[in-house]
Structure 1
Amino acid sequence: MTSPKTVLITGTSSGIGLAAAIGAARAGWTTVATMRDTGKADALRKAAAEAGVEDLIQVKRLDVTDPTGIATCLDEVVAEHGHLDALVNNAGAAQVGTIEQSSVEDVRAAMEVNFFGVVAVTRAALPHLRASKGRVITVTSVGGAVGQPFNEAYCAAKFAVEGFMQSLAPVAATVGVGVTVVEPGAVASEFVANLGLDVPALLAAAGPYAPALQAYIARTQKSFGNAQTPAEAAAPIVDALTADRAPFRVQTSAWARDFVATTLADLDGSAVQSLTDSWVR
C-alpha cells in the first residue's frame, strides 16, 4: 500500500489555515499543521477531533521568518513521513496604515511575514516537491490584485507574492511542480481580530487622513459583516490540493472573482501561463 500524501500548511492556529488543515485531512492527506506558537493549537486539535481526523494531523512549530526553523521543520517532515507532496503557504499578518504615518520598519515587517516568509518556505520545500512531483499553493488575497486604501504594506506584499508565484510557475512546471495562488476576499476569522486595532486611537492620530480612515473602517466593518466563513474560503485550497491539475489562480467566491476582475481579465491565469511557459520550453 502507498502511504498517504503529505502536505505542510503554515499558519494553522485559526481561520483559513485551520480550516484548510481540517479539509486536507478529511481528503485523506497526512497534514502537518504548522504555527508560530503551538500553544495556540487547541482550536485546531478540537476541530480535528470533532471531524474525526486527529490521527491525520500533526502539529509542528514553524515561524516563517526563521530560516533555521524552516529548514529544521522541513527536514523533520521528510524524515518522519518519507516525502512532502504539497505546501500550502497560508501564514500572514495584516498591517493597517498609510505610509506618511507608518515607519519603514512597519513596512519591512509586513513584507517579512507576508512575502519573504513565503519565499523562504517555498525555497526550502522545492527540492522535496520536485522529488514528489508535488505542488505549491499560496494563499494571497484580492489585495494581491487590487491595491486597497490603508493597506499599502499588506497589498504590496501580496502583489509581490503574486508576481513571485506567477514567475515561478512556468519554471517549476518544467520539473513537475504545480503552482497555484488562492485569492480570498473578506473572511470572518481571527485574522482581523488579531490586529488588536484601537480604532479611536487610530482616528485620533490620523490627522489629515482621519476622514478617509473613518470611511475606510466603516466600509471594512460592513464588508466583514458579509464575509465568507474560513471553511468556505478554505474549500478552494483543498480543491487545488486534490485536483489532478489545478489552475494557477483561484478566487474563493463570486464576489472575489468580480472584485479582482477590475484588474485581472485573465481570471484563472491560463493566458499568462501559456505565454510564459513557451519561454522555458
Structure 2
Amino acid sequence: MNGKIVLITGTSTGMGLETALGAANAGWRVVATMRDVAKADRLRKAAESAGVGELIEVRPLDVTDPASVAECVNGVVADHGALHALINNAGSGHVGTLETDGVDVARRVMEVNFFGVLNATAAALPHLRATGGRVLTVSSVGGVIGQPFNEAYCAAKFAVEGYMEALAPVAATVGVGVIIVEPAAVASEFVANVGIPADQKELTDRMGPYAPAAQAYLTRTAGAFANAQSAADAAAAVVAALTAERPALRVQTSDAARAFVAPKLADADGSAVFALTSPWVA
C-alpha cells in the first residue's frame, strides 16, 4: 500500500470498475463510487478475486447532485484524512440528432458528462491542493473530433476538454495536476447505454429524414466496436497516468485512439498547449 486515497466516479461497470481494480493493484486505497450502490456486487466480487478487496470501498455518489458529491468527498476526507486523486469516469452516451431530439436531450447529456465532472472536481480541489494531488478526467476521442449522431455527447466532451485544458496551468500553480484521458471504442456496457436499441429499426424510425444516414452510422459503428479496446486495457492507461511521475496533460488509451485524434491534434499529448499557457499564470 502507498497510503494514498483515490476517489473514482462511475465504477459499477466497464472502465470505472477496471480502473478501481487497477488502482488497488497499484497500492492505492480506492473509494469506488456509483449512483446506485446496489450495483456494486460485480466490483466487490472482482476485487475479492483479485485479492484487493480490503483496498476498495464503495460509496454512493450522484455526480449530477452537488449535495451528494459534497457529502461523499467530505466523508472520504473525514474518514481517511486526505484525498490524493480524483478520477472523473462517470458518464453516459447518447445517439441522436438535434432536429429529432430537441435541445432538452442535449441539456441532460451535458448535466452528466460536463457539469457532473465540474461538481466532483470543484469539491475535490481544496483537498487535492493540500496533498499535491491529481484530477484525471475520462473524456473521449469524441472530445476531439465531433462524430455524427453523437452531437450532444461530443459537445459535452469538447466542453470537458476545453475546461480541463484551461484549468491545467491554473491548477499547476497550486500543485494540482490535471490529466485528460481519451479512449476510442471500448468494449463495455457503455456501448449498450448510449441509446441504441437492440432493434435498430426503432432508432432509425425516429430519425425521420435522417434515417438513411443513421443506418450508415450504425453499420460503421458496429465495425468499430468489433475491434474495441478492452475495458481493462483502457483502465491500465488511466492507472499509468495516475501513478506516473510526470504525466502528460492529454493521454490516449490506445494506438487506435492516437491515430483517430492525430489529424486534429498535432499536439497529441497537450505539452505544447500547456507550455504556451503556463507562463501566463507563472
Report if TM-score (shorter chain) is over 0.5.
yes
Superposed structure 1 runs of 4+ greater than 6 Å apart: none
Q: Give how far 1:194 is off.
A: 2.5
Residue 17 of structure 2 corresponds to 18
Q: Provide the rounded CA distance (Å) in 2 between the counterparts of 1:221 and 1:3.
A: 41
Is the partner of 2:229 in helix, strand or coil? Answer: coil
- Is contact 2:204-2:211 (8 Å) kept? yes
What one-letter code is carried by the residue in structure 1 that aligns with 2:88? N
Deviation of residue 200 (structure 1)? 1.1
Q: Quote how far apart the aligned CAs of 1:245 are.
A: 1.4
- Say which SS state the counterpart of residue 63 (structure 2) adopts: coil
1:197 Cα deviation from its structure 2 partner: 2.7
Identity %: 65
The answer on whether the counterparts of 2:9 and 2:87 sit within 8 Å (CA) in structure 1 is: yes
CA distance in 1, matches of 2:168, 2:207: 41
Q: How does 1:152-163 map to 2 (within 5 A)?
A: 152-163=151-162
Unaligned runs of 5+ in 1: none
Is 1:205 aligned with 2:227?
no
Pairwise CA distance, 1:3: 6.5
Secondary structure class of the residue paired with 1:34 = strand
Separation in 2, partners of 1:133, 1:34: 22
CA deviation string 1:254-277 (max 9, x = no partner): 110010011100011000000100
Structure 2: which amino acid aligns with 1:228?
A: Q
Gaps of 5+ in 2: none
Contact 1:12 1:21 in 2 (8 A): yes
Cα separation, 2, equivalents of 1:261 and 1:135: 26
Question: What is the match of residue 258 of structure 2?
Answer: 257
Q: Secondary structure at the match of 1:130?
A: helix
The alignment's C-alpha RMSD in Å is 1.0
Q: Distance in 2 between matches of 1:49 and 1:276?
A: 44
SS in 2 for 1:101: helix
- For the Cα contact (< 8 Å) 1:14–1:189, is it kept in 2? yes
Report the 3-state secondary structure (helix = DSSP H, G, I; strand = E; otherwise coil) of the residue aligned with 1:84. coil
| 1:1-281 correspondence runs (5 A) | 4-195=3-194, 197-198=196-197, 199-281=200-282
- Once the two structures are TM-superposed, the CA of residue 30 in structure 1 deviates from its matched residue by 0.3
Distance 1:240 1:3, change over 3 A: closer
Q: CA deviation at 1:23?
A: 0.2
Looking at structure 2, the residues matched to 246 and 78 of structure 1 have their Cα atoms a distance apart, in angstroms, of: 25
**What secondary structure, in the 3-state scheme, does the structure 2 residue paired with 1:74 have?**
helix
* 1:220-254 deviation line (CA, Å, top 9, x unaligned): 11111100110000111100111111110000111
Contact 1:146 1:262 in 2 (8 A): no
Q: Could you state the TM-score of these two structures normalised by the residue count of structure 2?
A: 0.98
Separation in 1 of the partners of 2:73 and 2:206?
Answer: 43
Which string of whole-angstrom CA distances, capped at 9 and with x for unpartnered residues, describes residues 94-127 of structure 1? 0110100112110000000000000111000000
SS at match of 1:118: helix
> Are the counterparts in 1 of residues 88 and 117 from structure 2 also a CA contact under 8 Å?
yes
Q: Secondary structure at the match of 2:142?
A: helix
